[in-house]
């Protein structure tokens, strides 16, 4: 078996006038928070080169624009435009779910791949075995009910779980009890799973908001089984509450037991407004991955200051230019 592991990073330049003009053809709404640029993509590449040197290729997915500093001649880098892999009937798209759900179509992509977001940073050395072990994705398995509210992401996750419950029951989880009740890896999260194993329905899976280890064959299988749902989501130009996302294939891997347990201390997420917490995670924690999530808590008046503080800390951690920079 080919043991190569690739990374896929999706990125958009929300200030590109050509992209904005195309977007305006389909909506008059603007979402500055979703598309504003924190100018720290360079630290994602630095972190990957320094702390994930074992990665085979990085597939950089873009609408067509590129960062000015990017070295497109790097032998590990593959530039992918939307039209290179997404079926024409779904284009143009401004829906990140469409980008993610079609990743398995990227020409040359390995069976084992990791979906990175453009807000996730590698902050400590990693091994291939942190992401895949014996051909199986590494993950943290925990049953965790999803809250019922108007949040779009929570609604999407509920859509995912409806599909999971069409195929699986709590008995399928119990068949892999050793993986789910791994107190050494999950700590108190295993207690949460034990509590919710009493229900017949799978109420939801905890989502750690860090890069997801995927098997291309699993995504292909799900497209065959649930084509109608995948097609419906991909026809949406923008994210909607009716969508599914790539957490579905992750959930499928968990429900089938096609994974190996990973420590709860592998990665975490915090809000970009939490500067002190970001510093603590970067310098004083065990975590190897950090997602710094933008939010509407940060208004435009404080955005520049927060960006300066966060990027300053990232630059202290990763001061050396990578081979991905000109």
Q: What is the DSSP letter of 211?
A: P
pTM to 2 decimals? 0.95
* Residue pair 286/307 in contact by the 8 Å Cβ criterion: no
How many Cβ atoms from other residues are within 10 Å of residue 136's Cβ?
A: 15
Q: Which pLDDT does position 301 carry in this prediction?
A: 81
The most confident of 23-27, 217-221, 294-298, by mean pLDDT? 217-221
Q: Which pLDDT does position 148 carry in this prediction?
A: 72
Least confident residue range of 62-76, 138-152, 256-270: 138-152
Q: How confident is the model at residue 61 (pLDDT cuts 50, 70, 90)?
A: very high
Percent of the chain with pLDDT strictly greater than 90: 87
Q: Which pLDDT does position 152 carry in this prediction?
A: 83
Q: Which pLDDT does position 281 carry in this prediction?
A: 97
Arithmetic mean of pLDDT, 90-111? 98
Arithmetic mean of pLDDT, 197-220? 96
Q: Which pLDDT does position 32 carry in this prediction?
A: 58
How many Cβ atoms from other residues are within 10 Å of residue 94's Cβ?
A: 20
Arithmetic mean of pLDDT, 192-204? 95
- Which residues, 6 or more positions from 56, have their beta carbon under 8 angstroms from its beta carbon? 4, 5, 6, 76, 110
Percent of the chain with pLDDT strictly greater than 70: 98
- Structural domains of the chain in order of their starting residue, each with its CATH number: 5-317 (3.90.550.10)
Q: Which pLDDT does position 30 carry in this prediction?
A: 66
Q: How confident is the model at residue 292 (pLDDT cuts 50, 70, 90)?
A: very high
* Residue pair 8/109 in contact by the 8 Å Cβ criterion: yes
Q: What is the CA radius of gyration of the chain?
A: 19
Q: Which pLDDT does position 64 carry in this prediction?
A: 94
Arithmetic mean of pLDDT, 71-75? 98
The bridge status of strand 260-261 relative to strand 289-293 is unpaired
Q: Which pLDDT does position 257 carry in this prediction?
A: 97
According to DSSP, the residues that pair with 113 across neighbouring strands are 6, 214
Per-residue pLDDT tens digits for 167-176: 999 999 999 9
């Amino acid at each position: 078996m080919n043991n190569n592991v690739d990374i896929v990073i999706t990125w958009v330049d929300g200030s590109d006038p050509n992209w904005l003009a195309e977007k305006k053809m389909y909506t008059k709404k603007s979402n500055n928070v979703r598309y504003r640029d924190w100018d720290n993509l360079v630290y994602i590449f630095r972190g990957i080169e320094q702390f994930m040197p074992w990665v085979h290729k990085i597939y950089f997915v873009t609408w067509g624009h590129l960062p000015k500093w990017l070295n497109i001649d790097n032998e590990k880098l593959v530039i992918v435009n939307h039209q290179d892999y997404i079926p024409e009937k779904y284009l143009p798209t401004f829906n990140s779910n469409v980008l993610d759900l079609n990743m398995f179509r990227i020409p040359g992509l390995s069976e084992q791949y990791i979906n990175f977001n453009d807000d996730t940073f590698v902050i400590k050395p990693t091994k291939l075995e942190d992401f895949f072990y014996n051909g199986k994705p590494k993950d943290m398995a925990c049953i965790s009910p999803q809250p019922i509210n108007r949040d779009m992401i929570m609604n999407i996750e509920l859509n995912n779980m409806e599909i999971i419950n069409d195929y699986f029951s709590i008995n399928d989880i119990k068949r892999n009890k050793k993986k789910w009740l791994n107190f050494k890896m999950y700590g108190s999260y295993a207690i949460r799973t034990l509590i919710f194993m009493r229900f017949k329905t799978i109420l939801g899976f905890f989502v750690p908001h860090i890069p997801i280890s995927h098997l291309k064959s699993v995504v292909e299988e799900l497209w065959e089984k649930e084509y109608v749902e995948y097609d419906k989501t991909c026809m949406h130009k923008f994210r909607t509450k009716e969508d599914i996302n790539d957490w579905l294939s992750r959930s499928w891997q968990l429900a089938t037991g096609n994974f190996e347990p990973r420590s709860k201390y592998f990665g975490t997420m915090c809000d970009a407004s939490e500067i002190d917490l970001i510093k603590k995670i970067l310098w004083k924690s065990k975590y190897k991955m950090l997602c710094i999530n933008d939010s509407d808590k940060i208004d435009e008046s404080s955005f520049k200051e927060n960006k300066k503080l966060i990027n300053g800390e990232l630059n202290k951690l990763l001061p050396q230019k990578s081979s991905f920079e000109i």
